């Protein structure tokens, strides 16, 4: 019986760690995309001035 409990707790811990990793990766990706979108108009304006 103890093995089943240990396996269940291990699975819960792995799920929690996996969810945290996915959450961190998603946050980093969305932050990077937001930064790129914020910098795009500046790059376009500089490009238009150069023409």
Token representation of residue 39:
């910098």
Residue 14 pLDDT exceeds 70: yes
pTM for the model:
0.55
Q: Which two tokens stand for residue 32?
A: 């990077």
The residue with greater pLDDT, 2 or 13, is 13
* pLDDT score for 43: 53
Q: What is the pLDDT of residues 17-45, one digit of tens each?
A: 999 999 999 999 999 999 998 887 655 55
| pLDDT surpasses 70 at 51 | no
Instruction: Determine the Cα angle at 16 with ends 15 and 20, to 5°.
Output: 115
pLDDT for residue 11: 93
């Amino acid at each position: 019986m103890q093995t089943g409990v240990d396996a269940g707790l291990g699975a819960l811990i792995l799920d929690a760690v996996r969810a945290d990793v996915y959450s961190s990766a998603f946050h980093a990706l969305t932050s990077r995309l937001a930064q790129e979108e914020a910098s795009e108009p500046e790059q376009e304006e500089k490009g238009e001035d150069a023409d």
